[in-house]
Amino acid sequence: MKQDRFHGRVKGTQRGCDAPGCPEAGEFRAPGEQAPGFDGPGNYRWFCLDHVRAFNQGYDFFRGMTPEEIARAQSPVAGWAAETRAFRPTAGIDQAPRWADFTDPLDAIGARARARAEDHRKAQDAALRGISPADRRAYDALGLAFDADRRALRARYSELVRRYHPDRNGGDRTHEARLGEVVEAYNQLRKRPAFA
């Protein structure tokens, strides 16, 4: 393929112009009906020079967007707002291994790999059972198995409240954040049909 003085012209594509009834060669690529997104790069139309000029004059990238979406798309940091694993301060690592717990550094790495594999297995099991990610986090916060019933949920909740509530643990307030997680998880799970 060879380009010439018209920016974007691609010669030798052997495509016809996609404008109805145009016998010219389609040498200029334009966005198609399917926009790029999660499912792939989208598709393209190929036009001759006259029809690509007409297409470009009527093209509106922001068509169908709300004013908020347009403002986000025009932001100089658009696309950089969400942290990727590589650019998080922790690089996606929850915490460093406690090296004193291992005789060999490779054991520490293997333990992390086994933990991640177990987490992946649990996520697949939850998906097969129709458990949402939010519900899965609630199960994890309470330390419950996915097949737990209402009685197990109430018993575990009571146990954790006794452990973390300052009125029940001698006034120790260091676990209030954990208590909040437990209460939120219980309120999330008790609405599920499995616990009704």
Q: pLDDT for 126-148, tens place per residue?
A: 888 888 888 989 999 999 998 88
How far apart CA 86 and CA 162 sit, in angstroms, is 40
Contact at 8 Å (CB) between 190 and 158?
no
Position 5 confidence tier, pLDDT thresholds 50, 70, 90 = low
42-71: b (≥16 Cβ within 10 Å) or e: eeebbbbeebbeebeeeeeeeeeeeeeeee
Taking 80 as the threshold, does the pLDDT of residue 152 lie above it? yes
What is the structure's pLDDT at 159? Answer: 92
Position 37 confidence tier, pLDDT thresholds 50, 70, 90 = low
How far apart CA 45 and CA 13 sit, in angstroms, is 12
Position 40 confidence tier, pLDDT thresholds 50, 70, 90 = low
What is the structure's pLDDT at 51? Answer: 92
What is the structure's pLDDT at 110? Answer: 85
Q: What is the mean pLDDT of residues 159-173?
A: 83
Mean pLDDT of the chain: 82
Domains of the chain, first to last: 1-67 (no CATH), 132-196 (1.10.287)
pTM over 0.75: no
How far apart CA 177 and CA 155 sit, in angstroms, is 20
Q: pLDDT for 171-191, tens place per residue?
A: 778 888 888 999 999 998 988
Distance of CA 178 to CAs 39, 78, 79, 186, Å?
Answer: 39, 35, 34, 12
Return the SS3 of 46: strand
Region of poorest pLDDT, from 73-82, 123-132, 156-165, 181-190: 73-82
Could you give the residue ranges of the DSSP H alpha helices within the chain? Answer: 49-58, 67-74, 105-128, 133-142, 150-164, 176-189
Q: What is the mean pLDDT of residues 153-171?
A: 87
Return the SS3 of 127: helix
What is the structure's pLDDT at 181? Answer: 92
